Structure 1
Amino acid sequence: MIILTGRVERAYNITEQLPVWIPAQTVERFAEPTAMFYERSPWTITTIRSRLNTLSTLAKADESRAKLPLIVTSAYALMQKTLPVREFRAGSRPLRVGGRVELENLLRTLLHVGYSPASIVVEPGTFSRRGGILDVFPMSSDLPVRIEFFGDEIESMRVFNPATQRSSETIYQINITPAREEMPRFAPDAGRQLRSWFASQPQQEEDITSTLPDEEALLGGSAFPLIEFYLPYLYSYPANLLDYAPENTLIVIDDWGALQDSVTDLEEEALSVRQDKVVSQQLPLDFPLPYLTWDEIQDELSTRQTLHLGSNPEQPASDQAVVGDLFVPGDHYAGQLRLALDELQLLYEGGETDIVVTQQAQRLAELWSETGDYVHPITSITRPSEIAPLAFVEGALGEGWNLHAGSTSLHLLTDAELFGWKRPEPRRRQQPRALPPESSFADLEMGDYVVHIEYGIGRFAGLRKRTLDNSEREYLLVEYAGSDILYVPIHQADRLSRYVGADDTAPQLNRLGTQDWTRTKENTQRAVEEIARELLELYATREQVEGHAFSPDSPWQHELEASFPYVETDDQLRALTEVKSDMESHRPMDRLICGDVGYGKTEVALRAAFKAVMDGRQVAILVPTTVLAQQHFNTFSRRLLPFPVKVEMLSRFRSPAEQRQILYELAEGQVDIIIGTHRLLQPDVLVKNLGLLIIDEEQRFGVTHKERFKQMRTEVDVLTLTATPIPRTLYMSLTGIRDISMIQTAPEERLPIVTHVGVYNDKLVRQAILR
């Protein structure tokens, strides 16, 4: 079955909602291309893998009797043309232990189907050969595979960790599928066509939107980041997703009108971009269409079994069934969780079935247990008729409803009804790729300084093969002083790390066979012990200072956290736990929250502020700019609306009269949370019962302001948020003078920042806005 939607967001939402009703592993989403049609921009590895995994599953459907997943996709994804099915199957290479294959031919095949050579295999779609050992990271696998050959025979296959390069599980067969939808073996023909076109055009200036630099890359016949742009050139008869699906596949169309609107809008925009590029000589006039038109999609669907979930003007009325009249919209509670639970209690006692589908199922179950029996949250509703009268389900649905059919009453409640708005459904968490740390040898280049844990500082000199006991193995070569050389086996690579000094001065190389490195380590250990003693004295002094110990979380605190419209990352939860622990202790908190933009620092601050207010204390939030003050004011006001918390802002956006009124209420204790710029540090600002100071981007304040911060840190709890801490702040945090919490995990589906460097171009700006 394939579910086809008009809008991309709708495809995302359906993908997230289906696991509530069916097992999550049976749902797959066919992703949209990263770039717009005719946009010369590389696709992300996530997009490439998602699309290829789906194509791989469907391509082997005839050979395997395994149950196919339910595929969800959008008009945009369906429109994008892809490689023909026969080419995908021809480019797939099954391998098994004991099988015979000529290694040189296998390497050529990998290049032809889009794999890229690398010195060390870390990323999907790369391979590396070391003598009779081939490391390859198939696009359809979660981990890379190390294949050992004895002549032309495959002797063994083991998966390995890309971060440590250490082998683990032994496997006996694997299927290496194409690494790209664009087969590089067809690229030289496209390169010759492009060269012919450029030769017939007037000389053009090269810019970031020009296709001129791609000519040589195509002629080389290897994969490169922008090869997706040339897919229409590579195949005479490109395919689409439906070409891969079995003939008996049911196509479920979510909304025919939305589908048509999306396709025609995308067509019109693509046509406009094409015309501009043809006029500016960035695109040949006969450049093949990279997408299916609306007429072509209609033709494809006309030969398939289809089911329309919305109205379809082309479908006879006799074929339509109306079920919407059976469902009535549910009640809304606008974040008043206690009221919602009280009404659930009444329905529960009346014997009616109630299902609550929420991303906060565990928290709501705990709130329910305060007045009734604890109900264990579940993860899906595979058989609604078999569930208990009350169920808390961990999941995401768009909206709830009440169903009354005969003597049966069923109530479905979702986050939309509980919290007063439709919460963005978080994308299913992808298995994180095991990438090496920055100090990993995978990042080393010839001549880099390295440190061996036992032998000290040396210079990395590359990889070398050596034969010992009739077995060829690869080693990392490290040069030391006096022409000394150390061979480090690949499996001991974790004993090496990149040298990091205080400045760019080249370090002195150690000499093998001497005590230099041993003495250095001993001196370092003594210095560390001295710092540790100083820190012990510092901590002892801080422990003697009595601060306010905040109370444990209140029921309202749980309700606020349950209303968070996203799923917290593990780093966020860890930071929250550390902040709350600091606040509940008698020692004044001085903690730094360090995380990139969009990683969730504000949510940590909001929960800490609410915790302080629940204990009768006021909170001051200091920000460097007026715009940021307004953003925080909007966020805090919206999240805290269901609670009796007064949030105010001091900035130039407030008139003098408004500022005087706010200052009066602040001094009287009537304002719970005050947000402002450096205006908060003026002498006329008096806070009756300040309990928590939150500083956003401390590095952007001046020296005078920071002296005031030092004084405040001895009086109240201080929480500092930053994406780029100044060296002194970072040093104090890393040495323990200030506590630090790192938020290093990006929220699910956080969009990456894409940077283009070039001269100003109106068309490029327009294209970026349309994305």
Structure 2
Amino acid sequence: MNKQNHKIIFDSSNVDASVNNYGQLYGSSINLALAERIKNDLDFKIVIAPEINSAEILCNEINYFSETGLSIELLPDLEILPYDVSSPSNQVIANRSEILFQLLKGNIDVLVLNASSLLWKLPPRKYFEKESFTLSVGELFSMQQIGEKLRINGYERVSTVIKPGEFCIRGSLIDLFSPLYTNPIRIDFDDEKIDLIKLFDVDSQLTLNTINSVTIIPSEHYPKSSLAFDFFKTNMRNAFDGNQLEWPLYNFIETYAESHGVYNYLPLFFESMSSIWDYCKPGTKLFCVGDIKTSIKEYQKLINQRFNSQDNLSQPNLKPSELFFSATEQINKINEMHPINLQHQKCWKSRAHNSINFDTRPLTAFKTSSMDKIIHGLLETSTNKILLSAGSKNRIAFIENQLREFSIAARRVSNWNEFLERRAGVFVTEKSISESFITAKSGIAVIGEIELFGRRSSTRKYRSPAGKDPESIIQDLKDLQVGSLVVHGEHGIGKYKGLSVMMVDNVNSEFLTIEYALGDLLHVPVTLMDQVSRFIGQSSDESILSHLGSNQWKKLCKKTKKQAYDVAAELLEIYANRAIAVGKSHVANQKDYENFCDGFEYVLTQDQAKVIEDVLDDMAASKSMDRLVCGDVGFGKTEVALRAAFTCAINGYQVALLVPTTILAQQHFETFNERFSEWPIAINILSRLQTSKNNNQVRTDIEKGKADIIIGTHALLSDKVVYKNLGLVIVDEEHRFGVRHKEKLKALRKDVDYLALTATPIPRTLNMAIGELKDISMIATPPEGRIPVKTYISQWDKSLIHEACQREISRGGQVLFVHNRIDDIENMAETIRQIMPVGSLEIAHGRMKERSLERVMMKFYNNEFDVLLATSIIESGLDIPNANTIIINRADRFGLAQLHQLRGRVGRSERQSYAYLMIPPKHTLTNEGRQRLEAIEAIEDLGVGFILATHDLEIRGAGEILGDEQSGQIQKIGFSLYKDMLAQAIDSLRDGPQMQSTTISSDINLNIPALIPENYMPDVNLRLTMYKRISSTKSKIEIKHIESELIDRFGELPEQTTNLLLMAHLKNQASTLGIKKIRMDRRYGRFYFDQSTTIEAQNIIDLIEREPDVFKMYPDQSLGFKGDFPLVLNRINQVNTILGYLVGDSV
């Protein structure tokens, strides 16, 4: 049989042109029916779902069921409310632009959308037709002309292209990211001719492959030309009465449109707007899944309600009829198209003449049964083929293991057609089919993820951001602003004042300028940028600036270096004691362990997998484990703890899991109970939320060995708790326990495996410095599907608060509202209730009785009310995936770390999450407060806990490893310098001073132009970063890689930049030999040797004796030479030759 003709629901007996209502399609059978109905139909089709979640599921499932190579695409929802003050995200607009353009080109066979999308007016189709253009290799174009077209099309000019809708121009290159492509494009010009078009990687910025042409479409839904803005303003004046000069959008449309809800005024850019129907081919067929007309009417009500409720507006809104199509218009259009309607319920009797009810049934009869009873129950009926579905490899493996336990043989199928071609039996497929159904006629049952796991796996895919760690940001000087603090290894802490080109001895050179106390300036050559790093320490107070020329900085460094040696000695002692201690070896049976892991429904990130491997290796070793796992909030540390606990408990040893709060204990208890439900391992909790009787029983069970895994707060450290056979202690956020508790932990961890978990960032290079002494693992990448939090800063705005709460509650979510003043928190509660009449609110703060506080928090966790008004007590604690909006009042009063931690309370699901930072008028804020807020608003990357914005957390993290006293020293001299001192101290104590290599940084000046010209790399921060990288290289290979990258990203190297790279190579050679300085001009040169030089004196003597008229030794331990060196290459060759003589290569 031709597999294209396999049909389970539709066949020749029930496909009738007169029938347009199909009912009794339970669960996902409705999507199967739709797939069967459309897959052999060549006409263009639109499928409408009631709301966006069902549209996403529908799109994924008809793709799976149809398998005909049809282009089935989803029109993304705007993800904003009608009259929302926020504009849609750039990613959403870029995706919608791509879909609309592909519709115009006829490249889509089936378009899926949600009902509300019908009501939003779209840009006219001629906008995309007119503004889109194609560039091909060999064509003649002006780079400026292309840049202007990109700007008009909504592309933002940036220094580095990383997102759709961005572009940059550098030298002979244009980088751009068109929404039509999965990678950005680099266009290389030869004068005004397009020489090459290349795709490049976002993270590395390096070329992937070449293509012949690129199509560029608008990345915004409105043009950004001066003519378009004038047209907009004219229409705005005509549309509204009043003083337009007072309206933010009218005044700032050219620059600040996105932040003022420009999409509420989209029709003002065009003479007329389009509907989705205008983008469709003639003869389009329409399919409606569910009660679409009711969904349209409900959205119309929401539009009218929001329009009528807008008060205190800074500018008026367009009427609904101008921004939206009416429900009546769209319903009439649907009726005109004679749609095919599909529904879960039976069709009404009144429609019997044009309706069919199919024979699908739900799985309700088996809903409360275990998996084996479901399977056997189905097999005992007329069902002879069963398909179990799951959207991830881990879930599939879990299903297969469960079936094996029940002696049920299951076979994998890769797609739906393969399943249909198989004979009777039980099958599994790695595809997310959400809801179950049975087709009685064909004897087929499909068991969906919701029945098997309670919820679907993630289907949305998001590109993870490039990995970042604090040290890379510190060293790269990325985004360093004028006025930021930097630290110079020799001269101390100063303020960065910018890069500047200066003429020195008739040669242009670029310098980084640092301002010290009393206004003294230091100009650092770019060749010595390795001595400069961003200062990570105490606040940017003027009082910490060093005095240029003073010896105070040297004294401070000397003192800190001594303390670093003490820390290194302590770490070495701990390491030595651990090395000789005999611990318990824990290794789980491989099959049991794999079965347990199959209960994890997600795919491990690369970081998670590595950390778990580290932990299991430690536990298998004979010495006791002592490992710290660092990971940002929601990055998967709990799964590491679960697998470690299983490995220990399955071997008969007890596990103690300590957490800082009773609420967290309860949450972990539920998580562990769920994961260990199939295993003979007893999970217990010791907490104030339990009765005294229950806690006493738990203590008894612990002592008798009946409790395998015990979860609790510091109560687990009580003398009343006696462990029978403790094998593993897991501590969550150790720094939140008091000194007394930490002492107990030290005693507890001596003879058992110890695993600490923290969301406090531990800088990666500190980890490297002490990595052999203290085991630290990092989870720095987010789980797939996690979306960055959208952050907004606003003055107190009732309408904005109302909107934020309504958006969240209307999608079934919850809101966190932070107000950090207990004295008037009740007044704030009343204010919020007035702003948000719909929804329930409760209060949480630190003065409440503990049980009352815990009761409120647990109610919020269980989704029993909508808004939690709380103080910063929620800064760390519960994981509440359903809370995806946080409003922080008086955000200016919080530190950067606090803001980051508070914002981390939301954004733990696949939904877009929001953070609103409410502040007083900006002119009342301090400079530091304003910079803090701007930093938190700008940084949305996931994993931000490991980058610079959380520098106070990094210092706390360093203190967590090294102690509070060392944290204080880091505050004084800066993190970067301290970690270098610590690393040197460890190496010195471990290997001996005689093994230490030369660590000087040679200062080389050959009086030649050696810089990166501004016209080659216009962005000053990119130049800073590149200078830092070049001056920090240690090998010829590193320099070669940078050279290749520069050519790839910026074009052919200018002569000055070639010189810079050659100088870097000379500097590496000189530094290795202990030459602290080289000076040279047209006629003379001089090498200055450091006391630590490794050059043999005989080599210098031989060189002087060889050419006594050229070389001479001076009393200051320098070697002078003379000659005629008019050209750059002459000087570089001469220095290379001398270096060769000095190491004995040429003697």
Q: Report the TM-score range of the alignment, normalised by the length of the smaller protein.
A: 0.7 to 0.9
Q: 1:222 to 1:754 in 2, by over 3 A?
A: closer
- Cα separation, 2, equivalents of 1:765 and 1:52: 30
Q: 1:44 to 1:346 in 2, by over 3 A?
A: same
Residue 357 in structure 1 maps to residue 389 in structure 2: yes
Asked if structure 1 preserves the Cα contact closer than 8 Å seen for 2:477 and 2:534, the reply is: no
Listed one character per residue, the Cα deviations across residues 166-191 of structure 1 (whole Å, up to 9, x for unaligned) are: 33422210001111123223344334
Deviation at 1:711, TM superposition (A): 1.9
Among candidates 410, 421, 430, match of residue 444 of structure 2 = 410
SS at match of 2:783: coil
Deviation at 1:47, TM superposition (A): 1.7
Listed one character per residue, the Cα deviations across residues 31-70 of structure 1 (whole Å, up to 9, x for unaligned) are: 1113211111132233223222212221221xxxx5x254
SS at match of 2:357: coil
- Cα separation, 2, equivalents of 1:56 and 1:146: 22
Q: Counterpart in 2 of 1:470?
A: none
Q: 1:637 to 1:37 in 2, by over 3 A?
A: same
Structure 1 residue identity aligned to 2:48: L
Report matched runs for 1:110-121 at 5 Å.
110-121=150-161
Q: 1:26 to 1:734 in 2, by over 3 A?
A: farther
Q: Which has the larger radius of gyration?
A: 2
Report matched runs for 1:29-44 at 5 Å.
29-44=74-89
Among candidates 110, 123, 134, match of residue 163 of structure 2 = 123
- Cα separation, 2, equivalents of 1:483 and 1:73: 59
Q: Counterpart in 2 of 1:271?
A: 304
Q: 1:324 to 1:497 in 2, by over 3 A?
A: farther
- Cα separation, 2, equivalents of 1:462 and 1:139: 35
Q: Counterpart in 2 of 1:600?
A: 636
Q: Counterpart in 2 of 1:283?
A: 316
Q: 1:365 to 1:627 in 2, by over 3 A?
A: closer
Q: 1:382 to 1:237 in 2, by over 3 A?
A: farther
Report matched runs for 1:569-584 at 5 Å.
569-584=605-620
- Cα separation, 2, equivalents of 1:581 and 1:762: 55
Among candidates 737, 751, 754, match of residue 701 of structure 1 = 737
SS at match of 1:721: strand
Report matched runs for 1:607-646 at 5 Å.
607-646=643-682
- Cα separation, 1, equivalents of 2:369 and 2:601: 13
- Cα separation, 1, equivalents of 2:509 and 2:351: 71
Structure 2 residue identity aligned to 1:699: H
Q: Counterpart in 2 of 1:160?
A: 200
Report matched runs for 1:272-671 at 5 Å.
272-278=305-311, 280=313, 282-284=315-317, 286=319, 289-304=322-337, 306-310=339-343, 316-325=351-360, 331=366, 339=372, 352-358=384-390, 359=392, 360-365=395-400, 377-387=412-422, 389-405=425-441, 409-417=443-451, 419=452, 421-432=453-464, 438=473, 443=479, 479=512, 499=534, 539=575, 541-553=577-589, 555=591, 557-671=593-707
Paired residue total? 719
Q: Counterpart in 2 of 1:140?
A: 180
- Cα separation, 2, equivalents of 1:7 and 1:35: 13
SS at match of 1:423: coil
- Which deviates more, 640-649 or 103-112? 640-649
- Which deviates more, 713-722 or 190-199? 190-199
- Cα separation, 1, equivalents of 2:799 and 2:255: 30
- Cα separation, 2, equivalents of 1:661 and 1:76: 56
- Cα separation, 2, equivalents of 1:463 and 1:249: 62
Q: 1:100 to 1:72 in 2, by over 3 A?
A: same
Residue 200 in structure 1 maps to residue 242 in structure 2: yes
Structure 2 residue identity aligned to 1:710: K
Q: 1:99 to 1:704 in 2, by over 3 A?
A: same
Q: 1:136 to 1:440 in 2, by over 3 A?
A: farther
Deviation at 1:477, TM superposition (A): 5.8
Q: Counterpart in 1 of 2:1082?
A: none
Q: 1:93 to 1:285 in 2, by over 3 A?
A: closer
Structure 2 residue identity aligned to 1:273: R
SS at match of 1:382: helix
- Cα separation, 1, equivalents of 2:335 and 2:532: 60
- Cα separation, 1, equivalents of 2:49 and 2:219: 27
- Cα separation, 1, equivalents of 2:547 and 2:276: 59
Q: Which runs of 5+ in 2 are unaligned?
A: 1-44, 502-507, 515-521, 549-562, 809-1147
SS at match of 1:586: coil
- What is the percent sequence identity of the aligned residues? 27
SS at match of 2:220: coil
Q: 1:102 to 1:551 in 2, by over 3 A?
A: closer
Asked if structure 1 preserves the Cα contact closer than 8 Å seen for 2:450 and 2:456, the reply is: no
SS at match of 1:104: helix
SS at match of 2:323: coil
- Which deviates more, 36-45 or 760-769? 760-769
- Cα separation, 1, equivalents of 2:534 and 2:376: 63
Deviation at 1:643, TM superposition (A): 3.7
- Cα separation, 2, equivalents of 1:340 and 1:462: 73
Q: 1:286 to 1:318 in 2, by over 3 A?
A: closer
- Cα separation, 1, equivalents of 2:733 and 2:661: 10
Q: 1:757 to 1:571 in 2, by over 3 A?
A: same
Residue 251 in structure 1 maps to residue 286 in structure 2: yes
Q: 1:403 to 1:238 in 2, by over 3 A?
A: same
Structure 2 residue identity aligned to 1:44: S
- Cα separation, 2, equivalents of 1:297 and 1:603: 48
Structure 2 residue identity aligned to 1:47: V
Residue 90 in structure 1 maps to residue 104 in structure 2: no
Among candidates 41, 46, 49, match of residue 2 of structure 1 = 46
Q: Counterpart in 2 of 1:469?
A: none
- Cα separation, 1, equivalents of 2:330 and 2:293: 10
- Cα separation, 2, equivalents of 1:379 and 1:638: 29
Deviation at 1:707, TM superposition (A): 1.8
- Which deviates more, 546-555 or 171-180? 546-555
Asked if structure 2 preserves the Cα contact closer than 8 Å seen for 1:571 and 1:743, the reply is: yes
Structure 1 residue identity aligned to 2:444: L
Residue 685 in structure 1 maps to residue 725 in structure 2: no
- Which deviates more, 9-18 or 698-707? 9-18
- Cα separation, 1, equivalents of 2:525 and 2:242: 57
Deviation at 1:665, TM superposition (A): 2.5
- Cα separation, 2, equivalents of 1:747 and 1:43: 24
Residue 260 in structure 1 maps to residue 305 in structure 2: no
Q: 1:121 to 1:219 in 2, by over 3 A?
A: closer
For normalisation by structure 2, the TM-score amounts to: 0.55
SS at match of 1:21: helix
Listed one character per residue, the Cα deviations across residues 500-549 of structure 1 (whole Å, up to 9, x for unaligned) are: 6666778999xxxxxxxxxxxxxxxxx99999999787555423322222
Q: Counterpart in 1 of 2:921?
A: none
Asked if structure 1 preserves the Cα contact closer than 8 Å seen for 2:487 and 2:533, the reply is: yes
Structure 2 residue identity aligned to 1:181: H
Listed one character per residue, the Cα deviations across residues 470-500 of structure 1 (whole Å, up to 9, x for unaligned) are: xxxxx99664899686599xxxx9x999656
Q: 1:611 to 1:230 in 2, by over 3 A?
A: farther
- Cα separation, 2, equivalents of 1:415 and 1:385: 20
Structure 2 residue identity aligned to 1:320: S
Structure 1 residue identity aligned to 2:180: S
- Cα separation, 2, equivalents of 1:332 and 1:313: 27
Among candidates 49, 53, 56, match of residue 12 of structure 1 = 56
SS at match of 1:239: coil
Asked if structure 2 preserves the Cα contact closer than 8 Å seen for 1:182 and 1:227, the reply is: no
